[in-house]
Amino acid sequence: MSSVKIKILAISGSTRKNSSSFKFLKYISEHLKPQFEVDIFEGLTNIPHFNPDLDTENPPEEVVSFRNKIAEADGILICTPEYVFSLPGSLKNALEWCVSTTLFSNKKTGLITASASGEMGHEQLILVMKTLEANFNDATQLLIQGVRGKINDEGKITNEETAIALQNFVNNFENQFL
């Protein structure tokens, strides 16, 4: 059997230290089959504001590094809260640096919005990632509402329905690669 790992880049849309989105990504990384290797991206705050003048000619090194991580990954996981009915600015900013590229085109992707409400943010996440031509479908996207009551400080899922929905999501995400 091949020992080459399936590389997943996981991006949390929240830069908060105790973020639920980060905890969900950690939970998923621990529940994927052993042939998966998950790198949780921690550099979102270091990515400069999008500037079309620098986009193709002279992108900042943080952007080059982010783009390389996407290129090298076999799949992408995004988990994000909704901020003011939209995507958090830092996540949107990072994605804007990818619009001129084909990095997400046909890349197997899983999308989760984990938020207080999150409906509009999730719709926008789907729209943005469709625009970037990411490869996902209904089975590989999930909206987790009332997030504060669904995962505790230790990263344990405290709601049975959420645990089942996440397990289904994990299975569907994995099956694309196996």
Cα 35 to Cα 5, 38, 81, 126, 172, distances in angstroms: 5, 10, 28, 27, 15
Residues that bind ligand FMN (CB under 6 A): 14, 16, 19-21, 81-85, 115-118, 147-148
Judged by CB, which is closer to ligand FMN: 109, or 115? 115
Judged by CB, which is closer to ligand FMN: 22, or 66? 22
Q: How far is the CB of 84 from ligand FMN (least distance, A)?
A: 5
Question: If you search the block for the tokens 């080059």, which residue do you land on?
Answer: 64
Helices first, then strands: H and E counts in the chain: 6, 5
Judged by CB, which is closer to ligand FMN: 71, or 116? 116
Judged by CB, which is closer to ligand FMN: 63, or 94? 94
Judged by CB, which is closer to ligand FMN: 63, or 113? 113
Q: How far is the CB of 144 from ligand FMN (least distance, A)?
A: 10
Asked if 101 contacts 132 with a C-beta cutoff of 8 angstroms, the reply is no
In eight-state DSSP terms, residue 45 is: G
Judged by CB, which is closer to ligand FMN: 63, or 95? 95
Q: How far is the CB of 117 from ligand FMN (least distance, A)?
A: 4
Q: d(Cα 178, Cα 176) in Å, to the nearest integer?
A: 6
Q: How far is the CB of 41 from ligand FMN (least distance, A)?
A: 14
Q: How far is the CB of 125 from ligand FMN (least distance, A)?
A: 12
Q: How far is the CB of 38 from ligand FMN (least distance, A)?
A: 17
115: exposed, middle or buried (Cβ count in 10 Å: 0-12, 13-18, 19+): buried
DSSP alpha helix (H) spans, the chain: 20-31, 52-55, 61-72, 89-96, 119-131, 160-175
What is the H or E stretch that residue 11 is in?
strand 6-12
